[in-house]
Amino acid sequence: MYRKQIESYFEKNTEAMVNSIARLVDIPSVREAELPGKPFGEGPAAALAEALKMGQEMGFETRNIDNYAGVIEMGGEAKVAILAHLDVVEPGDGWDTDPFKMVMKDDGRIYGRGTSDDKGPAVAALYAMAAVREICPDLGGVRLVLGCAEETGSECMDYYMKKEPLPTMVFSPDAEFPVINIEKGGYGPRFSMSWEKETAEPRVISFVGGKTPNIVPGKATAVVAGLDASAVSKTADALNSGAVFTVAEDKGTVTILCEGKPAHASTPEEGINAQTALLKLLASLPLADGVSADAVRRLNRLFPHGDWQGEAIGIKMADDISGSLTLAFSVIDMNETGFTALFDSRVPICGNEDNVAAVAEKNLKAEGFTVDSSHMRPPHHVPEDSVFVRTLLKAYEKYSGRKGECIAIGGGTYVHEVEGGVAFGCTMPGTETNLHGANESMPVEELVLSGEMFAEVILELCGK
């Protein structure tokens, strides 16, 4: 009914929308040390102030929630909330342009930190609200909530939800299209073991794998005493692990570097886990009997190379809606007197504390490991047959010309803790934005398309 009017609005205001995005991208809003009245530092507070100023300039009501979050809204009781965030990750190296100076290039993309995550989408949502107001001046019930700490754990949203209730229909343009209605849960305890320093050889002196729990390690290193390099290389060659081993001997010790393929922990099957490959090699070596050697073999039993579904530790499971549990043994730091380690598992809807956390903890303890008990983050699921989700999918199909469907992911979005919340945009399937990497960018055409869909959804849900 309103498509021509929506498209006309964005055609007239595309340049203004891009300029608004530039105002936010140009503010380095990486979280920093807390300041008085600014819980996440100067940058996020400055970005929030600028965003609320834009909302005021466009005639909307605004509120600053103690610099944790801000609200831009069309009056009346809120029926729909849109959650976006203004904080960004560190720029890192490798940029072709200044990451905090938005640049429009001939390829139709805007470049800069936050163009796709999540300042560009936040502004697209703001302009969708402006389009709706122009088309139906008396319509209300829409709230754009802008958080300031999504990249560091969404403390901003936790604070906001304690201050103000959210409506039953919530979406976040902080992911991909079409609609993400299922986000797996998570479980990953820290576990450890200690022992007295041993002298028998051969033995493992050190074993260091990944440092980040949610990344499948691409490299791991170990030092072994009492073996020669040729013996270690021969064993490594026989493993057929898919990883590459480099072995160097020096003064009675052998250093082993294992190189695999890194991947996100939500998709461990896409990587080659260097940590488990090296663990397999260490467990295959003729180590002298002792607690340390026993620990290596026990770890290898629980986390065998290639087991990314948690079968060995007893938590393999799957359901038809959200798929399989995935597991990445991702962190270990072992020395001559013990180790600490972590794994990352993404848990489908059928998983819970009893059949995941309790089982894994029991099996870890059965191998003699000490477990720092931690609760499982529950899965998030919004039924795809709800009026809300069907409205989002209908708008997606109408404006994109593509099939609308719900998808499940192993990661988490800004609405994981929001009952009834789903992720909707802004990245189209197949589009690469270099999210969190150098030269982050976003096609302007997709931001316009997103804004048009958001406007359609607002009109459909708030106009009834």
What CA–CA distances, in Å, run from 270 to 172, 218, 312, 411? 27, 12, 19, 15
Structure tokens at 444: 């302007």
The torsion angles phi and psi of 364, rounded to 5 degrees, stand at -65, -45
Q: Where are the beta strands (DSSP E) in 336-396?
A: 338-347, 370-372, 380-381
Q: Which residue has the tokens 């994981």?
A: 416
Structure tokens at 23: 């105002």
Say if residues 164 and 390 touch (Cβ distance below 8 Å): no
Q: How many residues does the chain have?
A: 464
Say if residues 368 and 330 touch (Cβ distance below 8 Å): no
Say if residues 354 and 135 touch (Cβ distance below 8 Å): no
For residue 52, give the DSSP letter: H
Distance of alpha carbon 358 from alpha carbon 342, whole angstroms: 16
- Active-site residue, 87 included: yes
- Active-site residue, 307 included: no
Distance of alpha carbon 298 from alpha carbon 216, whole angstroms: 20
Considering the candidates 26, 73, 87, 456, report the single residue annotated as catalytic.
87
Q: Which residues, listed in sequence order, are joined to residue 70 by a DSSP beta bridge?
A: 64, 146
CA 6 from chain centre, in angstroms, equals 32
Distance of alpha carbon 222 from alpha carbon 220, whole angstroms: 7
Helices (H), 58-142: 119-135
- The half-sphere exposure of 364 on its side-chain side, counting CA atoms within 13 A, is 25
Distance of alpha carbon 408 from alpha carbon 426, whole angstroms: 16
Considering the candidates 50, 118, 150, 176, report the single residue annotated as catalytic.
150
Distance of alpha carbon 422 from alpha carbon 418, whole angstroms: 8
Say if residues 434 and 92 touch (Cβ distance below 8 Å): no
| Encoded amino acid at 391, one letter | T
Say if residues 72 and 449 touch (Cβ distance below 8 Å): no
Structure tokens at 292: 């340390």
Distance of alpha carbon 147 from alpha carbon 144, whole angstroms: 10
Q: Which residue has the tokens 């570097």?
A: 257
- Active-site residues, by number, are 87, 150
